[in-house]
């Protein structure tokens, strides 16, 4: 189907013929032989590409997309550069991805993948490009997310671009200012609820999905867009030995792992990287369980860390994150807030990269660990997202003489 036809699908959706549009869209996205399926990561059951199926009907497990017949032929920009690896061939874009991969001066063999350089300043844009495309083409009209802030900012912007309405459900008082400003600027309806992110998410799961298309990371279509980070690293650096990722709701670490695993399946990566998930010490349900050799997370009800984006006590994607870390021979680790803030400053001053605290957690992890070989640390969000954590010192200058004396110090 050509772009013009896709747009005509959107018009049909506006007139309400949803069954027709879903059929047309499936045909467009997957071809008539449908080589895209959903597979349960727990029991392996397979289902057709249903955009509203988020849990396995048989066992309740998380679902993952299977794209058969994919091949490596990068072309163009944004996540759609990797269309031949994705379940859809084109869609909403703002040129997300293409983020800088910078050799760090902090440590030998350390590279920084700066996701803060995405259009709304975080890695979420990769997923939203795909997720919002699904919402638009299936005639959803509205999208909804629970968010610690970055998902809200990204959903608001991509929904605006696609002409959809966005609702963002936020934990009141727990969202950094820059992210709130973005959600407001892009015209999202901001619904502030009591409690932590985990409560906001369960409200979206229980009520939101009836009224709007949910774009949290339990939605496998959204996560699929995030695997493109692996492809970009591969194009620039080949297959590194370690990928270090901050972990909150635990979707991104799986998405990146999946991207590398697919490169391995296609014979492009001979050796796959170890996935290292970094959590903040006050919000480390996976890292603590890992340290104690447990099979299940040690969920917590009152997560606490300066890194508000990963202040999450019950990561919805924990099963996928365990799969990523186990399959890759990696690990989960925790870093405390002091290490996070120190890493944020060190990265800013040695490499010129401004990370929000959650984004700097991967740097803190990479500096604390002695990982062999080449390491890529994913810095997931921009410093301007959370301006209040940075101490700003100014020197008052009242005269030319004072200025000259300051400049000569």
Ligand X SMILES: Cc1ncc(COP(=O)(O)O)c(C=O)c1O
The binding site for ligand X (CB under 6 A) comprises 122, 148, 150-151, 217, 246-252, 309-310, 356, 358-359, 380-381
Cα torsion at 85, 86, 92, 95 (round to 10°)?
-30
Q: How far is the CB of 393 from Zn ion (least distance, A)?
A: 55
Q: Helices 177-185 & 150-162, crossing angle to 10 degrees?
A: 10
Shorter beta-carbon distance to Zn ion: residue 64 or 339: 64
* Of residues 29 and 253, the one with the C-beta less far from ligand X: 253
Distances from the Cα of 269 to the Cαs of 239, 273, 323, 325, in angstroms?
Answer: 6, 9, 19, 17
With CB under 5 to 8 Å by kind, the binding choice for 56 among Zn ion, ligand X, none is Zn ion
The residue among 13 and 247 lying less far from ligand X, judged by its C-beta, is 247
Q: Looking at beta carbons only, is 158 or 318 nearer to Zn ion?
A: 318
- 386: region left, alpha or beta (phi > 0 left; psi from -120 to 50 alpha): beta
Helix, strand or coil for residue 318? helix
**Binding at 61: pick from ligand X, Zn ion, none (beta carbon under 5-8 Å per type):** Zn ion
Q: In this structure, what token pair is assigned to residue 277?
A: 């998930």
Q: How many CA atoms lie within 13 A of 145 on its CB side?
A: 29
Minimum CB–partner distance for residue 108 and ligand X (Å): 25
**Using rule CB under 5 A, residue 343 touches Zn ion:** no
Q: How far is the CB of 386 from ligand X (least distance, A)?
A: 9
State the burial class of residue 293 (Cβ atoms within 10 Å of its Cβ: 0-12, 13-18, 19+): exposed
Kindly report the number of other CB atoms within 10 A of residue 371's CB atom.
21
Q: Which does 381 bind (CB under 5 to 8 A by kind): Zn ion, ligand X, none?
A: ligand X
Pairing assessment for the beta strands 375-379 and 242-246 based on DSSP bridges = parallel
61 vs 149, beta carbon nearer ligand X: 149
Smallest distance, Zn ion to C-beta of residue 223, A:
17
Whole-number minimum distance, CB 138 to Zn ion, in Å? 23
Site for Zn ion in 35-64 (CB under 5 A): 40, 42-43, 45, 56, 58-59, 61
- As a whole number of angstroms, the distance between CA 344 and CA 380 comes to 12
Q: Is the dihedral of CA 256, 258, 260, 263 positive or negative?
A: negative
Nearer Cβ to ligand X (273/381): 381
Q: Are 63 and 36 in contact (CB under 8 A)?
A: no
The option from Zn ion, ligand X, none interacting with 58 (CB < 5 to 8 A, set by class) reads Zn ion
Q: If contact means CB under 5 to 8 A according to the sort of partner, which of ligand X, Zn ion, none does residue 150 touch? A: ligand X
**CB 54, min distance to Zn ion, A:** 12
CB nearer to ligand X: pick between 12 and 102: 102
Residues 58-117 touching Zn ion, rule: CB under 5 A, are 58-59, 61
Chain mean position to CA 282: 21
Chain positions contacting Zn ion, by CB under 5 A: 40, 42-43, 45, 56, 58-59, 61
């Amino acid at each position: 189907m050509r772009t013009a036809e896709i747009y005509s699908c959107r018009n049909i959706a506006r007139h309400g013929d949803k069954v027709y549009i879903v059929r047309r869209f499936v045909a467009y996205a997957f071809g008539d032989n449908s080589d895209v399926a959903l597979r349960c990561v727990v029991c392996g059951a397979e289902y057709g590409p249903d955009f509203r199926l988020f849990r396995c009907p048989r066992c309740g497990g998380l679902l993952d997309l299977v794209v058969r017949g994919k091949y490596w032929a990068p072309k163009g920009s944004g996540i759609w550069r990797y269309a031949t690896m994705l379940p859809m061939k084109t869609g909403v874009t703002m040129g997300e991805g293409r983020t800088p991969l910078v050799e760090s001066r902090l440590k030998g063999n350390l590279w920084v993948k700066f996701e803060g350089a995405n259009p709304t300043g975080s890695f979420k844009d990769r997923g939203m490009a795909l997720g919002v495309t699904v919402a638009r083409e299936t005639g959803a009209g509205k999208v909804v997310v629970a968010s610690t802030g970055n998902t809200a900012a990204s959903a608001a912007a991509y929904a605006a671009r696609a002409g959809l309405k966005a609702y963002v459900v936020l934990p009141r008082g727990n969202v950094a200012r820059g992210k709130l400003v973005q959600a407001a600027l892009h015209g999202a309806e901001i619904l502030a609820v009591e409690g932590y992110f985990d409560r906001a998410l369960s409200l979206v799961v229980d009520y939101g999905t009836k009224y709007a298309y949910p774009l949290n990371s339990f939605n496998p279509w959204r996560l699929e867009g995030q695997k493109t980070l692996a492809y970009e690293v591969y194009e620039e650096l080949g297959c590194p030995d370690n990928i270090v990722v901050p972990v909150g709701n635990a979707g991104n670490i799986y998405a990146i792992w999946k991207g590398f695993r697919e490169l391995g399946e296609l014979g492009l990566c001979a050796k796959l990287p170890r996935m290292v998930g970094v959590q903040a010490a006050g919000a480390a349900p996976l890292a603590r369980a890992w340290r104690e050799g447990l099979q299940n997370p040690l969920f917590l009800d009152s997560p606490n860390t300066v890194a508000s984006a990963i202040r999450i006590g019950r990561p919805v994607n924990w099963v996928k994150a365990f799969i990523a870390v186990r399959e890759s021979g990696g690990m989960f680790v925790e870093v405390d807030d002091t290490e996070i803030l120190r890493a944020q400053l060190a990265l800013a001053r040695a490499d010129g990269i401004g990370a929000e605290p959650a984004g700097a957690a991967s740097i803190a992890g990479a500096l604390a660990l002695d990982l062999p070989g080449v390491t890529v640390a994913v810095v997931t969000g921009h410093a301007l997202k959370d301006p209040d954590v940075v101490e700003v010192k100014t020197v008052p200058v009242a005269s030319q003489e004072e200025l000259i004396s300051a400049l000569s110090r």
